[in-house]
Structure 1
């Protein structure tokens, strides 16, 4: 183990990406297995759509999820030993005479396109249902819930190493999506949409940021997740995502919501960021790694978007922190 660590420390950070995680792919074969469910099947699988989780994200969108069980082999509703848990997301039905504000709509064609995208740090789409009265997406179930609930909704704390692992997973997903389509993703980057599996690996519930919200009249709403250039003139690009990711890093490592912390006062010195780190960690974290993390967050949230690093560089730094400390 010691020799492996020494070898890891000798590598340039950019070389750490491949060994740590499996490479991303566009898995077209997976789309052949995308299951078309009926509303009746999903009603049975979810015990009559018993509500499990309702989320309002930072941009005001409302997402409703139901926990259900399907057969691992046939994808039929199941309560046997072969069952697997799934998360069923309700979409706004366009047939409603009065659409509910801020609910997400994704067409059948868009759902099929989502089914072609696979990455270990994206929540996997298993199937969908489009009927007159129900529009639903079926995803793999994330047993540890959302990052938001783990950071803000629980007394027990996530260890430093687990938080770094989570940060790397999110960054990997963003880098992958940037590599296949250089469009801004910040609308979907949210602590609520970052899910954790049983090993606390992070998986982003990505729905394709081109989609519009039902009831959204195009207003630009300033939030702590969005940089000044977007709030002022609507400019958005991949560096907008870097800012949003920086705020998520800040929340992840401080345990405080972005609005409660003045980003401009975040000092890059060890002592200052050490005072900001989640108090539940006490002193159980490497101070040099914390200092480097503080500097990374400060760079990601620069006012001038041209001074922010690329997401690949952010990932390299995170991998370096994970390996060296």
Structure 2
């Protein structure tokens, strides 16, 4: 049977050389003597064989005759290495798809057609001419070797989400704007990131800088001194640099209230609308920091209505800052020498009494005596009621218990300096007395302390000794009603200006004497010559002009300035200067 099948196959192969079809009749004739076995050759997939229902009506079936080159089991890899490789240009080697077969075949590459075994046998297919596949999507077809591409016309773009169809494109200006916006946003994000990092670095540097300034401005020394003197940091508010910069409009020149040897004073408005005076010390030296700390320490010991009140301080800036209550009416110096305001004699006496009372308080009523060391008209502030406020304690000194003088460098203002202190460097309470004596002379004469290299104090003393007092007094304040009080004040000022400090009265005595003069000048019987003339002469004449006694006038209710209130009964007592009360 195997021989018969082989013979039939051979006959069919021979017939295939002349035709590509096999007839059913021929197959039937060949298989007449083959019992129930049938066999013939046809193209795979063209005939479904079934012995139970063999169809003789089929006249012809296609037959495929194929071949292969070589007999290698992995032909393409081996064949490409040999010189007799059969596949030509634009073709490719293909292994036979039948399992167990050997050899290889050649095929034209996609996009080419022709005979792959001939040189240049595979020709490029022009897809744009044969079938323009771009036409249905509205694109232009562009042929290329072995392939083609679709290109949208100008003003259109390929829509990736819609089968690459050409749609109306965005104008270049819009595209440019989109690109610009993207670049801008990118740079903005980058800038914000860099700024955030820089801000963090600057913030850390700023904190370190504030710590440095705190140390340089004597912050640790201040805390130590406050502890040593029994003060407390809670009594003074610590302001931040930002608060004070905002309060003074960044220390604008329009906010300057005045300038002195130890710094500049600015007007400031705090967030609660409270007006304050902010003193900005002159920086650059260790002594300035020490003076700043000294002023805080001194003011922490003071509680008096005629001494400017310290509200707080700032230690975080390059130069130290102090915050005081705002005294609205300027300085005594401005009223006497710049504004030329008509301060009456009674008002001048009021200012003298309050200033003397404040200095007496500093010398004898604080826990530790305080020497101001820079008493002058520019350091006496006036509020809207012309109440005197002693200020600027940068040069002040605390006097240790049991001491009456301090060995120190000379500090103060020319024209107000105590000559004894200037020569010996020995600072005492009497140095403030001398300076206050100069202020009294300014109140009487309305002249500056130093003029054309001449001191007002020496001119005044010489005029008193030569009986020329009336020639240097301010005519606007002197009249027949107050001439006697003016002379008494001048006599007191002369005693304050004595060269020998021991011969000067102390500030408590000066304050009491000035207060007595004020009360007696206001009392209706003070000038009544017909009322007890002997006693009147004794009280207003010899006692007030005496170097040995002062008048102590005490009332039932005494204000902090020393003035009596109301119509309280008075006691007049003659006290020697050495009493010390």
Say yes or no: does 1:66 pair with 2:266: yes
For the Cα contact (< 8 Å) 2:419–2:499, is it kept in 1? yes
- The residue that corresponds to 1:34 in the other structure is 236
For the Cα contact (< 8 Å) 1:144–1:196, is it kept in 2? yes
Secondary structure at the counterpart of residue 256 of structure 1: coil
Q: 1:284 to 1:85 in 2, by over 3 A?
A: farther
Report the aligned-residue RMSD: 3.0
- The residue that corresponds to 1:190 in the other structure is 376
The runs of at least 4 consecutive aligned structure 1 residues that moved more than 6 Å come to 28-31, 219-222
For the Cα contact (< 8 Å) 2:298–2:370, is it kept in 1? no
Q: Deviations over 1:196-250 (max 9, x none)?
A: 1111010011425139xxxxx9567883212321222222211121111101111
| Cα distance in 1 between the residues matched to 2:381 and 2:289 | 18
Secondary structure at the counterpart of residue 371 of structure 2: coil
Q: Deviations over 1:53-85 (max 9, x none)?
A: 3423xxxx2420110112xxxxxx24xxxx221
Secondary structure at the counterpart of residue 118 of structure 1: coil
For residue 132 of structure 1, report the CA deviation from its aligned partner: 4.2
Specify which of 344, 347, 350 is matched with residue 165 of structure 1: 350
| Cα distance in 1 between the residues matched to 2:494 and 2:354 | 20
Structure 1: give runs of 5+ residues left out of the alignment.
1-27, 71-76, 94-98, 212-216
Secondary structure at the counterpart of residue 67 of structure 1: strand
Secondary structure at the counterpart of residue 305 of structure 2: coil
For residue 265 of structure 1, report the CA deviation from its aligned partner: 0.9
Alignment of 1:94-243 (within 5 A): 99=284, 105-107=290-292, 111=296, 114-179=299-364, 180=366, 181-186=368-373, 188-207=374-393, 209-210=396-397, 218=409, 223-243=414-434
TM normalised by structure 2 equals 0.43
For the Cα contact (< 8 Å) 2:360–2:508, is it kept in 1? yes
Greater RCO (CA < 8 Å, at least 6 residues apart): 1
Structure with the greater alpha carbon radius of gyration = 2
Specify which of 444, 452, 461 is matched with residue 264 of structure 1: 461
Q: Deviations over 1:170-197 (max 9, x none)?
A: 11111111112335322x2121111011
- The residue that corresponds to 2:275 in the other structure is 85
Secondary structure at the counterpart of residue 280 of structure 1: coil
Say yes or no: does 1:55 pair with 2:241: no
| Cα distance in 2 between the residues matched to 1:34 and 1:47 | 23
Q: 1:32 to 1:173 in 2, by over 3 A?
A: same
For residue 310 of structure 1, report the CA deviation from its aligned partner: 1.3
Q: Deviations over 1:121-162 (max 9, x none)?
A: 100011111104352100011111111111111132211111
For the Cα contact (< 8 Å) 2:245–2:251, is it kept in 1? yes
| Cα distance in 2 between the residues matched to 1:318 and 1:284 | 19
- The residue that corresponds to 1:293 in the other structure is 489
Specify which of 438, 441, 459 is matched with residue 247 of structure 1: 438
Q: 1:90 to 1:273 in 2, by over 3 A?
A: same
- The residue that corresponds to 2:512 in the other structure is 316
Structure 2: give runs of 5+ residues left out of the alignment.
1-229, 399-407, 522-581
